[in-house]
């Protein structure tokens, strides 16, 4: 039985059985601890020399994708053809409009943005070097704290006023980026659909009747609608990748511990990741270059190997000779015909670039998913459980029910599940990824659901929520990096074509390789307006 739709007692039994099955895969001496997660990440980390260096291959020109992204626009800024103030004014107007049409934006910061834009133009006029993200218009999920500004973390009323800037915000601002406002999210980041019973729903910019995906709903919708060119999202079970593919943008969930979460709301401290959502893989690379780094203020932060810290130099390099692994069984279960066709077409496009496609061994993904659900429930309840007991009812029914599920999880079971993460990660890399560089898998197996399907806690709504995270959550449990890429359109039962896509999953610290492959895919001549989502020109409905 799927743990998402089980009764509390049945769910606990499912978690216990899944833990026992995974324990049987892991050998250890009695009384000795398993390999810690941070040790397993370092031990299985990607090595730069794993990138294919094909004899006689020459570097591909870094072609522009079929729409404008910040990588292209910053060239005009550098050449003096665009002012940051003009960019900021245009983005602010668009952000207000998108906020009205989709509810993607909670608050727009006009004065702060324009003052920062003036400073950018002054630096440029003075001949100072252009910052990595100089003038890049961004807005962020409403769990990223901004000093002196309110935050709500998806709740109907403000949760407080921030007295610090989140570490990610500090990194982006140091690189010259503009921070233009707060974006919609589901309550305490606990719903993958992007709906919000108490604060109001965010709507997919491709169709107002459909979900944008969550919990980084506003980040996906605002970037897709062209209001900003990038946003920070968070991903505990898929919340960067789901809205990325449902809105038609690119997002990357980094290796666990690579990007600091200090100054951002916690949902599940062993599964939370922060990462960029943008129009293109190369824009993700720009943002990640400013975000990645060890931070002692985040207890989950892990120093990355030095060789993995360059996210830009691989862009434009050939991908010929690289190997993509394709998993069957779990990742092909219940696939809609259009999703299946999109995946097939995407693999064929990689093959055209000389990438080798290989099958990979199976792994107990159902059990990984079950343990991740249990850990997230326990940790979320520890942090936010008091709100679920508040008689004033400040949380919606769905969020309250999820938090209540964490109350009866035994500490021994929780700790046992945590201890399995390190050894299972090592097994996964050694067994599943031994002969491949990355895996290609779907993110969501179905057409985009309609918002009305989540209006009540029905069995159908519970099933859809489980399906939204089924293909992404096991990757959080393993702490692996994963990049979501738009791959095409899927037609639902209502006849409407909506964006969908796939994820590239890598070994720990293989973000440079994922970005290289994502950029190669997005600069293919076949990546055209005719068959793939174009984030800068959406059909508003």
- By C-alpha distance, which of 249, 306, 205 is closest to 484? 249
Q: Regarding predicted confidence, which is higher, 235 or 26?
A: 235
Q: CB of 511 within 8 A of CB of 479?
A: no
Domain membership of residue 299 (yes or no) is: yes
Q: What CATH number is associated with residue 230?
A: 3.90.1300.10
pLDDT band of residue 526 (cuts 50, 70, 90) is low
> Phi/psi of residue 502, each to 5°?
-140, 170
User: In this structure, is residue 461 part of a structural domain?
Assistant: yes
> How far is residue 502 from each of residues 69, 216, 326, measured CA to CA in Å?
20, 17, 12
Confidence check: pLDDT of 185 > 60: yes
DSSP 8-state assignment for residue 303: P
Beta bridge partners of 108: 181
Domain containing residue 34: 8-522
Catalytic residue selected from 219, 239, 244, 280:
239
Spatial CB neighbours of 313, under 8 Å, sequence gap ≥ 6: 512
Strand order in the sheet with 482-491: 105-108, 178-183, 137-141, 230-235, 273-278, 250-253, 482-491, 497-506, 438-442, 323-326, 356-359
- Mean pLDDT taken over the chain: 91
The 8-class DSSP code of residue 292 comes to B
Q: Is 531 part of a structural domain of the chain? A: no
Look up residue 163 and give its DSSP letter.
Answer: S
- The DSSP-derived string for 56-73 is T--PPP----SS--HHHH
The encoded tokens of residue 259 equal 């990007």
Q: What percent of the chain is predicted at pLDDT more than 90?
A: 83
User: pTM of the prediction?
Assistant: 0.94
CA–CA dist 56, 227 (Å, integer): 43
Query: Total domain count for the chain?
Result: 1
Do the domain assignments include residue 541?
Answer: no
Residue tagged active-site, from 91, 215, 260, 482: 215
Least confident of 172-181, 259-268, 490-499: 490-499
Cis geometry, peptide bond prior to residue 445 (ω within 30 degrees of 0): no
315 touches 430 (CB < 8 A): no
Query: Is residue 102 in some structural domain?
Result: yes
CB atoms < 10 A from the CB of 531, how many?
12
Which secondary structure element, helix H or strand E, spans residue 232, and what is its range?
strand 230-235
Confidence at 65, pLDDT banded by 50, 70, 90: low
- Evaluate whether residue 530 is within a structural domain: no
Distance CA 482, CA 484 (A): 7
Q: Is 239 a residue of the active site?
A: yes
Q: How confident is the model at residue 141 (pLDDT cuts 50, 70, 90)?
A: very high
State the Cα–Cα distance between residues 275 and 253, nearest whole angstrom: 5
What one-character-per-residue DSSP string does 116-154 give?
HHHHHHHHHHTTPPPPTTTT-EEEEETTB--TTSEE-TT
User: What is the DSSP secondary structure assignment for residue 255, as one 8-state letter?
Assistant: P
pLDDT grade for 328, boundaries at 50, 70 and 90: confident
Residue ranges of the alpha helices (H) in 189-280? 217-224, 241-247
215 catalytic per annotation: yes
Burial (CB count <10 Å: 0-12, 13-18, 19+), residue 457: middle
Least confident window among 311-325, 494-508, 527-541:
527-541
Q: Is the peptide bond before 180 cis (omega within 30 degrees of 0)?
A: no
In a domain, 527, yes or no: no
Q: Which contiguous run of DSSP H or E holds residue 415?
A: helix 411-431
pLDDT digits (tens, 9 = 90+) for 368-414: 999 999 999 999 999 999 998 877 778 999 999 999 999 999 999 99
Whether residue 319 contacts residue 350, with contact meaning beta carbons closer than 8 Å, is answered with: yes
Cβ-Cβ contacts under 8 Å for 159 (sequence gap 6 or more) = 150, 151, 152, 153
Give the dihedral of Cα atoms 241, 244, 247, 249; nearest 10 deg: -160
Per-residue pLDDT reduced to its tens digit, 421-458: 999 999 999 999 999 999 999 999 999 999 999 999 99
Q: Which of 188, 109, 101 has its CA nearest to residue 143?
A: 188
- 3 in a domain, yes or no? no
Spot the catalytic one: 52, 141, 219, 507: 141
């Amino acid at each position: 039985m799927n743990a998402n739709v089980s009764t509390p007692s049945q769910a606990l039994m499912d978690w216990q059985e899944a833990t026992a099955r995974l324990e049987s895969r892991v050998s250890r001496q009695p009384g000795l601890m398993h390999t810690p997660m941070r040790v397993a990440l370092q031990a299985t980390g990607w090595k730069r020399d794993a990138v294919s260096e094909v004899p006689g291959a020459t570097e591909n020109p870094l072609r522009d994708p079929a729409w404008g992204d910040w990588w292209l626009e910053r060239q005009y800024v550098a050449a003096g053809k665009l002012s940051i103030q003009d960019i900021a004014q245009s983005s602010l107007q668009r952000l207000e409009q998108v906020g009205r049409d989709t509810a993607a934006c909670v608050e727009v910061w006009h004065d702060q943005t324009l003052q920062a834009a003036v400073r950018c133009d002054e630096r440029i006029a003075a001949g100072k070097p252009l910052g990595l993200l100089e003038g890049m218009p961004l807005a962020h999920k409403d769990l990223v704290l901004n000093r002196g500004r309110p935050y709500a973390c998806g709740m109907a009323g403000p949760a407080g006023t921030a007295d610090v800037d989140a570490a990610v915000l500090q990194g982006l601002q140091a690189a010259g980026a503009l921070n233009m406002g707060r974006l919609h999210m589901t309550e305490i980041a606990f719903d993958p659909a992007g709906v919000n019973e108490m604060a109001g729903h965010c709507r997919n910019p491709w169709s107002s009747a459909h979900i944008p995906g969550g919990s980084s709903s506003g980040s996906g919708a605002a970037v897709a609608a062209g209001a900003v060119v990038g946003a920070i999202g968070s991903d505990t079970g898929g919340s960067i990748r789901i809205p990325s593919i449902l809105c038609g943008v690119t997002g990357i969930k980094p290796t666990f511990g690579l990007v600091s979460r200090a100054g951002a709301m916690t949902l599940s401290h062993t599964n939370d990741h922060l990462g960029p959502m943008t129009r293109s893989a190369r824009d993700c690379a720009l943002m990640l270059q400013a975000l990645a780094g060890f931070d002692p203020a985040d207890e989950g932060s892990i120093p990355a190997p030095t060789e993995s810290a360059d996210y830009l130099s691989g862009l434009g390099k050939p991908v010929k000779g690289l190997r993509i692994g394709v998993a069957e069984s779990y990742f092909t279960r219940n696939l809609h015909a259009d999703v299946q066709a999109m995946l097939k077409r995407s693999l064929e496009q990689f093959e055209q670039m000389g990438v080798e496609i290989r099958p990979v061994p199976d792994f107990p993904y159902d059990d990984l998913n079950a343990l991740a659900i249990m850990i997230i429930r326990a940790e979320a309840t520890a942090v936010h459980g008091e709100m679920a007991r508040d008689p004033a009812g400040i949380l919606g029914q769905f969020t309250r029910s999820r938090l209540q599920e964490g109350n009866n999880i035994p500490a021994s079971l929780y700790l046992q599940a945590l201890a399995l993460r390190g050894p299972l990660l090592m097994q996964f890399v050694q067994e599943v990824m031994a002969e491949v560089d990355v895996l290609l898998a779907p993110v969501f197996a179905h057409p985009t659901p309609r918002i009305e399907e989540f209006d009540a806690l029905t069995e159908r709504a519970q099933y859809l929520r489980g399906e939204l995270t089924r293909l992404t959550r096991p990757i959080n449990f393993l702490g692996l990096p994963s990049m979501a890429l738009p791959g095409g359109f899927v037609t639902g039962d209502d006849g409407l074509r909506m964006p969908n896509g796939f994820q590239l999953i890598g070994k720990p610290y293989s973000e440079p390789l994922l970005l290289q492959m994502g950029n190669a895919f997005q600069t293919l001549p076949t990546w055209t307006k005719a068959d793939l989502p174009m984030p800068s020109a959406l059909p508003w409905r």
